[in-house]
Amino acid sequence: MSEWVIGNVVQVKHWTDNLFSLIIRAPIDPFVAGQFTKLGLEINGKKIQRAYSYVNAPKNRNLEFYLIAVPGGKFSGKLHAMQPGNNLMITKKAAGFFILDEIPSCKYLWMLATGTALGPYLSILEQGDGLERFDKIILIHAVRFAKELSYLPQMLKLQRRFNNKLSILTIVSREINQGSLTGRIPSLIKDGSLEQAINLKLEAKNCHVMLCGNPNMVHDTQQILKETRAMQKHFKNSPGHISTEHYW
């Protein structure tokens, strides 16, 4: 059984009509960058809970979550209405294995996200621990519209901090945006545009790919990587090249 503590909302950032970030203070146990926790609310007399990834580095005591208010969603709509000073429930312990300790040795680490699933990567990069072993990290954020690139300023800051070690790329699927690729991750891998934009080959011999977010993206991208790059899903007892986290 999870142990719950009270979290206090200290800030809400509204990025678009339905994208927002919650900043919470709560007496949680230490977590590992890349992990998620559960937030809970009592709705109509029933406790409802959902999983959310930490965006902040574990060393930062402002707990940050990047969310979309899913149309018709039971829980995310309630979080969308939160204001500074409101309380919610949060599990004391974090969970999940989408963390660097689970990534096998490789030269190039690719971090691919759709929508709100950028969070775990920002947490890992902001924390900065354990990244020495990679020659290069590639952070890719795929969204529908350019206005949804909420964390682009932070991505650019990280890129400056890591110098040539971190490459960032944005993908926008439903409009042309200068500076972003247009389309979806799997087709941009298939036709070579993603590698061309990063100037690096996506190869099984020296790359590991992390995929986070929309389960259809995770599925379709894995298929393409299997078919065209001879990459396999990574398991502890059967090492491969792909690690995944589904948001639904």
Ligand X SMILES: NC(=O)c1ccc[n+]([C@@H]2O[C@H](COP(=O)([O-])OP(=O)(O)OC[C@H]3O[C@@H](n4cnc5c(N)ncnc54)[C@H](OP(=O)(O)O)[C@@H]3O)[C@@H](O)[C@H]2O)c1
Ligand Y SMILES: Cc1cc2nc3c(=O)[nH]c(=O)nc-3n(C[C@H](O)[C@H](O)[C@H](O)COP(=O)(O)OP(=O)(O)OC[C@H]3O[C@@H](n4cnc5c(N)ncnc54)[C@H](O)[C@@H]3O)c2cc1C
Residues that bind ligand X (CB under 6 A): 18, 68, 70-71, 114-115, 142-145, 148, 173-174, 184-186, 214, 216-217, 220
- The residue range among 20-28, 73-81, 162-170, 195-203 that interacts with ligand Y, by the rule CB under 6 A, is 73-81
Q: Which is nearer to ligand Y, 61 or 74 (CB)?
A: 74
Q: Is 108 in the site for ligand Y (CB under 6 A)?
A: no
Whole-Å CA distances, 62 to 59, 76, 142, 187: 9, 20, 26, 37
Among 20, 21, 32, 36, binds ligand Y (CB under 6 A): 36
CA distances from 217 to 75, 90, 113, 115 (A): 23, 28, 9, 11
Q: Distance between CA atoms of 15 and 146, rounded to whole angstroms?
A: 12
14 near ligand Y, rule: CB under 6 A: no
Half-sphere exposure of 76 (CA within 13 A, CB side): 17
CB of 95 to ligand Y, least distance (A): 8
Stretch that binds ligand Y, among 46-54, 105-113, 170-178, 197-205 (CB under 6 A): 46-54
215 binding ligand Y? (CB under 6 A): no
Shortest reach from residue 44's CB to ligand X, in Å: 23
Beta bridge partners of 182: 172
Is 53 near ligand Y (CB under 6 A)? Answer: yes
